[in-house]
Structure 1
Amino acid sequence: MDLALFQDPEAANDWQNVLGIFEFKAPNLKAGISQLEIYLAREPRARFGVWTNGRDSCTVYKLPDGTFKNVRHPAVVLPSPDDDFELATSKAITFNDLLVPTERELRQSFKALLDVVVARDSVVTRSEQQLDQLCNMLLLKLESDTSGTMQPSKPVGFQLRKTEAETGDHIRKAFSALVESREEVFREEHFPSLSFDDHTIKEIVYAWSGWNMLEVGAEAVSSAFQVFRRANLKAGEGQYFTPARVVQAAVRVMDIQPDDKIIDPACGTGGFLIEAFRDMSARISKPETVRTWAHRQVYGVDKDSINVKLTRAMMMVLGDGSVNVHIGDSIREDRWPKDYPYLDRALRDGAFTVVLTNPPFGEGLKVAAKDCEANKYSISLAAGGGKSYKDLEIGLVFLERAYKLLTPGGRVAIILPETYFFSSSYSFLNEWIRTRFIVRGVINVPMEAFQGFCRAKTNLYVMEKQAIPRTQQRSR
């Protein structure tokens, strides 16, 4: 191209920052427009192009549905900073018009929108609030797509209106309706709202309105959402997205049956629960039967409210298995009566036949000795040589939480760092496991699986809870 216009002088030459492109050529108008459309189709962030030969000119706008709008001028007309470069489509977008984005396109879009929110939104300025609001917009988009499947030739709700203000008003009203109709998704929030300013709302709607977010898959949406997560320093809290292939392998090896009751006590964005739901859906033909199964048999807990909101949303989209996904701290049971009273019932000891989980792990992520003592975690006592409780890595404490949750004969699939099982620092662990579990399998997870999040070597450990702990067997 002859000239590129970037949105931010600090990010010149960054392709994600391209706003417009310019071509100054002698050929005719038709050839100039064709050239601009080709360039715009290849520049995912560009909103418009301008062609002129010094006498005539044309502005080509890229619309949210991937089509173009050409505005011809009898003289040389160049855009000004006050122009609106994000136009609505010439006809309303229907569900049939939506295209399925690739995971790469999703991630690029999420990254660009994060930049927009952080740099420009005049209302939402705190990082955690920004993340929550982006999640709300994603929920609204998913709801719009879900509704669109029922009337695929009718206009979808998630699309631009004529002006920025009209778009903002329309989207906020749609979100209020979503809160009313999907109360279970927002049940812990006192006053859920959409707080972005009109400009940010319009940017997000422009970016997503031409996409079908349902067909791209829950794991791809969750993966793309990690862009927001990583910007919010969640990796420092040991939260790592579990790759789809690892999740699928874990669910298959557990051979979940309709009478199994499953839980992920550190569910994150719900990968294991979603895959279990899908696996059951493939075997049970009636959607209402699968929904009933999920309502009775599928549980999840996570401390992060946004993770829980996303999990509920994905389960809702798949067929509504969201009712038993809770915000809470699975580890510190002594805090449940005051902070999470509903967990007492949801996380009853011995109530589950399957635990699937990838708990947080990382250097410095430990449960304090006093918390381990307050909650009687024997694995912490074992780490202290049986004499005193000891600060312990949270992943190992989750292993005991899984043990408590399981019924005798129940099974757990848990991802843990390999070093726990081979380092002399954890010499107590094998004996602790031997007296409580039967190890049924160890599945290698390549280091590349978590590339970009951490470099720890992990395995998927599959164990069965013994009917009678071996310590009791010996005493008998």
Structure 2
Amino acid sequence: MALTGPEHQQVRLPVIEALRVLGWMDHQMQWQPEWRVPKAPSEATKREGKRGFAGWPVDLVVFEDPEAPNDWQNVLAIFEFKEPNGSAGISQLETYLSREPRARFGVWSNGTASAIIWKLPDGTFKHTRHDDLQLPSPTDDFTRATSKAIVWNDLFRPTESDLRTSFKALLDLVVARDSVVTRSEMQLDQLCNLLLLKLESDTLGSLNPKKPLLFQLRGSEKETADHIRASFDELVLTREEVFRDEHSPRLLFDDHTIKEVVFAWSGWNLLGVGAEAVSNAFQIFRRANLKAGEGQYFTPTRVISAAVRIMDIQPEDKIIDPACGTGGFLIEAFRDMSARIGNDAAVRTWANRNVFGVDKDSINVKLTRAMMLVLGDGSAHVHIGDSLREDRWQADYPLLKSAMRDGAFSAVLTNPPFGENLKMSARDCEVNKYSISPAAGKGTYKDLELGLVFLERSYRLLQKGGRLGIILPETYFFSSSYVYLREWLERRFIMRGVVNIPMEAFQGFCRAKTNLYVLEKKVEGIA
């Protein structure tokens, strides 16, 4: 719309003035330059990556947070001032709203008549038409429930991009607005709790597609929050294996945060997306908590799939990932075995007996357990603990003593944390008798990179003839600084394969060139 034309003078400027009177701030509104809405999901991806994109100009956009103007994650409302009868404007607004993931409503007006178009959780829209100019105020509730309860058949499958966008926006909301949960680690844990409840709701819904789902909006913000908290308490009772390491787990977010998360996710089918996509999107939360600084480089799905195929896991295999993160290798092994066996009960029995995982991060472990449950169980042997410091097991992680017995596994598959600044101290190496440390120190125990210590832990876990698939930096195997490693490996393993992993696979997480190394424990090797 031209800034000097009749629509600008007769419609846009009066609407802007009316919004000011209602309490909207000038820097919450943008009309010059006109806001542009991506024309397609691919264009939205370009915008997310801060690249140029093809977009439709809109007459006016309103941002929710006055402190974050010109941010697509803060777009609350879109206004159009075209077409005297409103029908074309309303149709156009529906298209625009579907392209703006955070927008809640649109307004069409010709200066006298108006219509408000509400975006509903199931992806549909609700229209309210008025013969005069009706505009919301900043204190209104912009969330609308669907006209009927959402059932399984109403759900739609989001893209992984949708998931990432939503998770990022919700994390920003929690950090900025939640009045109860303020510590970053607790914020992640609470978001994980809501994600678990949503997955449980989808699982139950898939079994009874016509029954209203538990994860959806109720009449008011308080009613929604009370219902979701009660549903979470029930989840803790029915899925106690997921929460077994927690003391009195509760949903602590304030009512507003709970309502916002429910609105964002209630129309989605997360089971249809797949465990890997949900786990990958969840890493938005982990990155925000600077876990990459601790060497937690979460393994891309395509690398996981290739590694599991190369390892050729068989029904008789007992497998473990001693640094399982959010369970990517365990989930893929379960899926691969399920596709081959084709018997849910048999796969469940195999997983409950033969699939093990350990991670120091309680949220990672909780999410892994949940994903395994969604797939059909197999979460019984996923533990919180420090795989490397065996001297602490009895006092701090008593379950690990039986779960991580030396020589108990035929296959280890892992992507351990690694990096020059991520080391186990010489004292810890000595206390736990890691021979790779004095090998590096020419007879004297020395501080050693965690990735190398995980190599020895994996060796201990394997039975003779067992195989190891481990992702490590290429420099360990080719640099002159690590000559001792090749000598140490020669006495213990047979190298069965090296698989190149493109550097782009971990782009954004890690700059080191890595490979998947496939090793076999020697039958006559060192004990």
Q: 1:32, CA displacement in angstroms?
A: 2.6
1:56 aligns with 2:117: no
Residues in 2 aligned to 1:331 and 1:143: alpha-carbon distance in whole angstroms: 33
State the AA in 1 paired with 2:194. M
1:67-466 pair list within 5 angstroms: 67-385=124-442, 387-466=443-522
Q: Say which SS state the counterpart of residue 464 (structure 1) adopts.
A: strand
State the AA in 1 paired with 2:346. T
1:30 aligns with 2:87: yes
State the AA in 1 paired with 2:355. V
Alignment deviations for residues 54-105 of structure 1 (CA, whole Å, 9 cap, x no partner): 2111111000001111111221111101111111001111111111111111
Residues in 2 aligned to 1:102 and 1:442: alpha-carbon distance in whole angstroms: 33
Q: Which has the larger displacement, 17-26 or 316-325?
A: 17-26
In the alignment, is the contact (CA less than 8 A) between 1:361 and 1:393 conserved in 2? yes
* TM-score normalised by the chain length of structure 1: 0.98
Q: 1:29, CA displacement in angstroms?
A: 2.5
State the AA in 2 paired with 1:204. V
Alignment deviations for residues 238-261 of structure 1 (CA, whole Å, 9 cap, x no partner): 001101111111111111111100
Does 1 or 2 have the higher relative contact order (CA < 8 Å, sep 6+)? 1
Paired residues in the alignment total 470
State the AA in 2 paired with 1:154. K
Residues in 1 aligned to 2:498 and 2:107: alpha-carbon distance in whole angstroms: 59
Residues in 1 aligned to 2:65 and 2:365: alpha-carbon distance in whole angstroms: 35
Tell me, which stretches of 5 or more residues in structure 2 are unaligned? 1-57
Q: 1:40, CA displacement in angstroms?
A: 1.1
State the AA in 1 paired with 2:146. T
Alignment deviations for residues 157-196 of structure 1 (CA, whole Å, 9 cap, x no partner): 1111111001000100100000000000000001100000
Residues in 2 aligned to 1:445 and 1:32: alpha-carbon distance in whole angstroms: 50
State the AA in 2 paired with 1:32. G
Q: 1:26, CA displacement in angstroms?
A: 4.9
State the AA in 1 paired with 2:140. D
Tell me, which stretches of 5 or more residues in structure 1 are unaligned? none
Q: Which has the larger displacement, 8-17 or 433-442?
A: 8-17
Alignment deviations for residues 382-428 of structure 1 (CA, whole Å, 9 cap, x no partner): 0011x211100000000000000000000000000001111121110
Q: 1:22, CA displacement in angstroms?
A: 1.2
Residues in 2 aligned to 1:370 and 1:362: alpha-carbon distance in whole angstroms: 19
In the alignment, is the contact (CA less than 8 A) between 1:87 and 1:162 conserved in 2? no
State the AA in 2 paired with 1:367. M
Residues in 1 aligned to 2:323 and 2:98: alpha-carbon distance in whole angstroms: 41
**Over aligned residue pairs, what C-alpha RMSD do you find?**
1.0
Q: Say which SS state the counterpart of residue 410 (structure 1) adopts.
A: strand
Q: 1:9, CA displacement in angstroms?
A: 2.7
Residues in 1 aligned to 2:303 and 2:224: alpha-carbon distance in whole angstroms: 40
Q: 1:10, CA displacement in angstroms?
A: 3.0
In the alignment, is the contact (CA less than 8 A) between 1:99 and 1:210 conserved in 2? yes
Q: Which has the larger displacement, 366-375 or 32-41?
A: 32-41
Residues in 2 aligned to 1:443 and 1:41: alpha-carbon distance in whole angstroms: 42
In the alignment, is the contact (CA less than 8 A) between 1:48 and 1:61 conserved in 2? yes
Alignment deviations for residues 427-466 of structure 1 (CA, whole Å, 9 cap, x no partner): 1000000000000000000000000111110000000001
Residues in 1 aligned to 2:97 and 2:304: alpha-carbon distance in whole angstroms: 38
Alignment deviations for residues 137-164 of structure 1 (CA, whole Å, 9 cap, x no partner): 0000000000011011221111111110
Residues in 1 aligned to 2:409 and 2:243: alpha-carbon distance in whole angstroms: 26
Q: Which has the larger displacement, 229-238 or 423-432?
A: 423-432
Residues in 1 aligned to 2:96 and 2:476: alpha-carbon distance in whole angstroms: 53
In the alignment, is the contact (CA less than 8 A) between 1:256 and 1:276 conserved in 2? yes
Residues in 1 aligned to 2:319 and 2:287: alpha-carbon distance in whole angstroms: 28
In the alignment, is the contact (CA less than 8 A) between 1:379 and 1:396 conserved in 2? yes
- The aligned counterpart of 2:67 is 10
Residues in 2 aligned to 1:189 and 1:340: alpha-carbon distance in whole angstroms: 13
Q: 1:24, CA displacement in angstroms?
A: 2.3
Alignment deviations for residues 273-298 of structure 1 (CA, whole Å, 9 cap, x no partner): 00000011011122111111001000
What percentage of aligned pairs have identical amino acids? 74
Q: Which has the larger displacement, 100-109 or 10-19?
A: 10-19
Residues in 2 aligned to 1:126 and 1:214: alpha-carbon distance in whole angstroms: 30
Alignment deviations for residues 209-264 of structure 1 (CA, whole Å, 9 cap, x no partner): 11000111111111101110010000000001101111111111111111100000
Q: Say which SS state the counterpart of residue 83 (structure 1) adopts.
A: coil
Q: 1:331, CA displacement in angstroms?
A: 0.0
Q: Which has the larger displacement, 52-61 or 319-328?
A: 52-61
Q: 1:30, CA displacement in angstroms?
A: 2.1
Q: Say which SS state the counterpart of residue 65 (structure 1) adopts.
A: coil
Alignment deviations for residues 113-132 of structure 1 (CA, whole Å, 9 cap, x no partner): 00000000000000000000
In the alignment, is the contact (CA less than 8 A) between 1:352 and 1:407 conserved in 2? yes
In the alignment, is the contact (CA less than 8 A) between 1:420 and 1:429 conserved in 2? yes
Residues in 2 aligned to 1:201 and 1:184: alpha-carbon distance in whole angstroms: 24
Q: 1:342, CA displacement in angstroms?
A: 0.9
In the alignment, is the contact (CA less than 8 A) between 1:410 and 1:465 conserved in 2? yes
